[in-house]
Amino acid sequence: MNRAWVTLALVSVLFFVITAATFDSLGLVLPAMVAELGWNWTEAGLGFTLLAVFCGITATLPAWLIRHFGVRANLLAGSVVMAAAYLCLANAHGVPLYYLGASLAGLGFTLLDTVPGTHLLARLFPRPAFAIGFYFTIGGLGAVFGPLLYFLVTGASGHWRGYWLAAGLVTVLAGVAAAFLADTRTDVGARAEADPDISTESWSARAALRTPQFRILAAAYSAFLFCGITANSVSVAHLVQQGAGAPLAGSMIAISGIANAAARLAGGLLTRFINARLLLAIALACLVGGLLALAEARGLPMMLVYAAGIGIGYGLAFFASTILLLDYFGRGPYLELFATVNLISTVGAVAPFLAGMSRDRLGAFTPFFLGLSLLVSMVLLAVALMRPPHRPAP
């Protein structure tokens, strides 16, 4: 089998595992940890915040490691960090070790997830859009199957500590397998560009960072994360306040997750026929529609519109903004540009805080949803007016 496809399978499995075993596990395990260890929810919630913040602020670290030591060293370093993270979480009796484990998990997630994954795929596939879309899809399914894996493992082990040990073992095995079996040498960018959508201009990362197109793409990337974090953190509380039952409100997150994963794959298929900029505009419009539906949702039809809008918008924006970085600036500076976009998007971590402030001071989450929809609309307008950049003459 072609080593490019083997590598796609390896990094996709790794993305699936770390998605299921970090962000989509901590929220499930926390109630059991809080009940047994006697923490309050302020203490518990800070660990989730540390996970997200360390995932964001370390976003440029894998780019530096890859440029200086190679992809294999980066993946092995991520595997070691993840092993330490899960050992801390499994052995936590007080919040200091829990906070350390959550912080290390954020760093390990960064070292193992989309920065090295998309870097490899952009180097291996002459036309990488489908491969990246497939990779994002499998990673998205980790969020869908994460709860199932948690209940299966805790049912067998009988305790949440056993789940952290099992999650750590699987994550480390996936990381080490990707490090040693993935093709880290091939670089199709060294040959003539085979993808007509990818720029052949000799962009440097520094020159690309100065363009308005990069700023717009960074804003779009931040926008979908802002919307996704908002929906995951406060949508259930908002819908319950609107009169929905908690089980029904919670099921909308699962529906949104399925739509998210499907949209990533659809993006990889559609980009052959529809320009990625148009796909990004459609995605942002879906996010606006989803936010407005969430703000007013009181019955099942509007709740489904919200779940579909946020899910499709998130998945399609994730894919399209990533592909546009390749299309506009080429394969050469992609690693640094994608890492920088991930660093900028850390701003999304403040979404739960701002939403909570809206609820506490104004009595509802609705004003925050409406304000966020306005901001996303402004990014949509910028994307609609955006045109491919051209490298300035030296």
Least confident of 2-6, 218-222, 321-325: 2-6
Percent of the chain with pLDDT over 90: 56
Q: What's the CA gap between 138 and 132, in Å, rounded?
A: 10
Q: What is the CATH number of domain 3-188?
A: 1.20.1250.20
Q: Which residue has the tokens 């931040």?
A: 222
Q: What's the CA gap between 135 and 200, in Å, rounded?
A: 24
Check residues 291 and 393 and name the one with the higher pLDDT. 291
Question: What is the arithmetic mean of pLDDT over 243-249?
Answer: 81
| CATH 1.20.1250.20 domain extents, the chain | 3-188, 205-385
Q: What's the CA gap between 243 and 107, in Å, rounded?
A: 39
pLDDT, residue 153, reads 84
Nearest C-alpha neighbor of 271 from the set 179, 195, 192: 195
- Is 246 in contact with 310 (CB distance < 8 Å)? no
pLDDT, residue 164, reads 92
Check residues 251 and 380 and name the one with the higher pLDDT. 380
- At the top level of CATH, the class of 205-385 is mainly alpha
Q: What's the CA gap between 318 and 284, in Å, rounded?
A: 10
pLDDT higher than threshold 80 for residue 276? yes
pLDDT higher than threshold 90 for residue 232? no
User: Would you give the DSSP letter of residue 197?
Assistant: T
pLDDT, residue 356, reads 80
243 band by pLDDT with thresholds 50, 70 and 90: confident
User: CA torsion sign, 266 to 267 to 271 to 277?
Assistant: positive
Most confident of the following: 7-21, 43-57, 138-152: 7-21
Tell me the pLDDT of the chain averaged across its residues.
89
Q: What's the CA gap between 209 and 88, in Å, rounded?
A: 38
279 band by pLDDT with thresholds 50, 70 and 90: very high
pLDDT higher than threshold 90 for residue 242? no
Least confident of 1-15, 82-96, 227-241, 281-295: 227-241
CB atoms closer than 10 angstroms to residue 7: 25
Q: What's the CA gap between 295 and 293, in Å, rounded?
A: 5
Task: List, for residues 170-226, the tens digit of each pLDDT value.
Answer: 999 999 999 999 999 888 877 777 778 888 888 999 999 999 999 999 999 999 988
pLDDT, residue 393, reads 63
Residues 6+ apart with CB under 8 A from 253: 231, 232, 235, 236, 307
Sequence length of the chain is 394
394 band by pLDDT with thresholds 50, 70 and 90: low
Q: Residue 355 is encoded by which pair of tokens?
A: 């939403």
Q: Cα–Cα distances in Å, from 201 out to 44, 138, 210, 386?
A: 49, 32, 15, 18
pLDDT, residue 43, reads 79
